[in-house]
């Protein structure tokens, strides 16, 4: 396609760093075009948004995902050789392993059971401490729970929790956070690689049906098992996203502090409202700003040309706050999801598309179910919220509550063990 008549496009890399999540929505508001054209790190980029754009983006005939992931992201968040780097049949075969592990009522219920058991064991001890940081406590609880479920023995779960958080916290930045993430990944891959080798040699046992067992036994599209390093990468891609739910747990504390009526409603133990609360947390609070891929060939979107090999961006944060999709999008109101459940490609905090054939996160049901279980548990606690920095800067990727949400004088006002709520 001939782009020669288009004026030069300025590079937006610095603007992205300065504005973060707000960068693409701001650009979109300033154009009447159905796409946003820009350059990132010198490369032509075209940004899309909306449910139709989600379906366009996840069509492998249009956009390749695996080849678009930059090295720094692979070295921190996903890991080299991960399922995210694959396309076509290789991706579908490896993704099938994750789908068998992380979807279905029994798998979801199993994760929720183990995580909530750890929560119910841990929370009473908070009463004995002058203060707790919800983000940090949630990361430790989630680490213990998901490793228990996955059949992974852990000698130092607190250290592992810090490493798993570091991998997420440092993937989209330069400087100390990024290098902490790289060191955390190298440490964790080496540890899990040794565990996989021990299972393969028979000097360690993987519980039958566990994630560890499934990854060790998996065969790729070529019929070969995963080598220990790649198996370690994929085990981290089971446990790391689950531990990242601590971002949403801290956001839940933020939401309940700002909305006492929401807290009271959650205390009613209404399962439908708990699901709506989980959806609204994921819609309202910043998680992933956008996703990227590469145009597989010369494309056209709503009359706009997209040249082959251009970067194609899907604006997640902008779509989740689009007034054409959501009434009062900057108001936190779970009731919107009581009136109408979200469509598949409408609410996209963790991406969109068909998780069976595309790159959508296979653990999305687990995220929702964990928030359905932990949200009411948090609402049932009584605690003081001291003076602290509760801002959530949008120019920090990934964003998070600056203070981590500090709680003082925590009291367990009702029995900690609620009837576990999951997303049906």
Model pLDDT for residues 344-391, shown as the tens digit of each residue: 899 999 888 765 555 566 678 999 999 999 999 999 999 999 999 999
The residue extents of the domains of the chain are 13-412
Rounded mean pLDDT, 393-399: 95
Which pLDDT does position 84 carry in this prediction? 84
Put simply, whether the predicted model's pTM sits higher than 0.75 gets the answer: yes
* Whether the predicted pLDDT of 71 surpasses 90: no
Annotated binding site for heme: 361
- Across the range 121-141, mean pLDDT stands at 97
Peptide bond into 398 cis (omega under 30): yes
Best CA proximity match to 65, nearest among 330, 294, 375: 294
pLDDT digits (tens, 9 = 90+) for 7-64: 568 889 999 989 999 999 999 999 999 999 999 888 899 999 999 999 999 998 999 8
Note the pLDDT tens digit of each residue in 165-224: 999 999 878 889 999 999 999 999 999 999 999 999 999 999 999 999 999 999 999 999
Query: In percent, how much of the chain has pLDDT > 70?
Result: 92
CATH class of 13-412: mainly alpha
Q: Could you tell me the pLDDT band of residue 6, with boundaries at 50, 70 and 90? A: low
| CA distances to 54, 172, 290, 292 from 16, in Å | 21, 11, 11, 14
Residue 354: both structure tokens together: 């068909």
Q: What pLDDT does residue 138 have? A: 98
Annotated binding site: 361
Peptide bond into 401 cis (omega under 30): no
- Per DSSP, the residues of 186-240 read HHHHHHHHHHHHHHHHTSS-PPTTSHHHHHHH-B-TTSPBPPHHHHHHHHHHHHH
Q: What is the mean pLDDT of residues 86-97?
A: 89
How confident is residue 415, by pLDDT bands cut at 50, 70 and 90? very low
* Percentage of the chain modeled with pLDDT above 90: 76
Residue range 232-254, pLDDT digits in tens: 999 999 999 999 999 999 999 99
Mean pLDDT of 272-298: 95
Q: Determine the average pLDDT of the residues in 400-421.
A: 78
* In contact, 76 and 170? CB cutoff 8 Å: yes
- Mean confidence (pLDDT) of the chain: 91
Q: If residue 160 lies in a helix (H) or strand (E), which one and from where to where?
A: helix 157-169
CB-based contacts of 50, cutoff 8 Å, min separation 6: 319, 322, 325
Q: Which DSSP symbol is given to 128? A: G
Mean pLDDT of 259-264: 97
């Amino acid at each position: 396609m001939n782009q020669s008549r288009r004026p030069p496009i300025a590079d937006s890399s610095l603007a992205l760093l300065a504005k973060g999540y707000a960068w693409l929505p701001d650009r979109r508001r300033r154009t009447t075009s159905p796409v946003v054209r820009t350059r990132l790190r010198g490369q032509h980029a075209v940004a899309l948004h909306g449910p139709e754009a989600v379906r366009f983006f996840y069509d492998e005939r249009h956009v390749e995902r695996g080849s678009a992931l930059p090295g720094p992201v692979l070295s921190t968040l996903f890991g080299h050789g991960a399922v995210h780097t694959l396309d076509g049949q290789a991706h579908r075969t490896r993704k099938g392993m994750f789908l068998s592990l992380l979807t279905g009522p029994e798998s979801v219920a199993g994760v929720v059971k183990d995580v909530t058991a750890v929560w119910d064991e841990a929370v009473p001890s908070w009463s004995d401490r002058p203060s707790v940081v919800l983000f940090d406590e949630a990361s430790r609880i989630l680490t213990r729970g998901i490793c228990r479920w996955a059949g992974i023995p852990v000698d130092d779960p607190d250290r592992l929790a810090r490493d798993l958080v570091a991998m997420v916290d440092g993937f989209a930045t330069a400087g100390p956070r990024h290098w902490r993430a790289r060191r955390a990944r190298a440490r964790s891959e080496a540890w899990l690689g040794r565990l996989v080798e021990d299972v393969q040699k028979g000097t360690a046992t993987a519980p039958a049906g566990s994630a560890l067992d499934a990854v060790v036994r998996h065969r790729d599209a070529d019929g070969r098992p995963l080598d220990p390093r790649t198996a370690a990468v994929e085990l981290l891609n089971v446990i790391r996203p689950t531990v990242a739910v601590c971002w949403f747990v801290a956001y839940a504390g933020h939401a309940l502090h700002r909305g006492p009526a929401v807290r009271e409603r959650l205390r009613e133990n209404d399962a439908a409202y708990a699901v709506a609360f989980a959806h609204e947390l994921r819609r309202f609070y910043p998680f992933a700003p956008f996703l990227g891929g590469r145009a597989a060939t010369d494309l056209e979107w709503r009359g706009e040309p997209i040249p082959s090999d251009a970067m194609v961006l899907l604006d997640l944060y902008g779509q989740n706050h689009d007034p054409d999709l959501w009434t009062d999008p900057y108001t936190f109101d779970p009731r919107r999801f009581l009136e109408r459940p979200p469509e598949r490609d409408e609410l996209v905090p963790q991406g969109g598309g068909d998780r069976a054939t595309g790159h959508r996160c296979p653990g999305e049901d687990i995220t929702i179910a964990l928030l359905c279980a932990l949200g009411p548990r948090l609402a049932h606690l009584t605690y003081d919220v001291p003076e602290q920095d509760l801002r959530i800067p949008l120019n920090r990727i990934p964003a998070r509550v600056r203070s981590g949400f500090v709680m003082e004088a925590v009291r367990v006002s009702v029995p900690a063990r609620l009837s576990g709520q999951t997303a049906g």
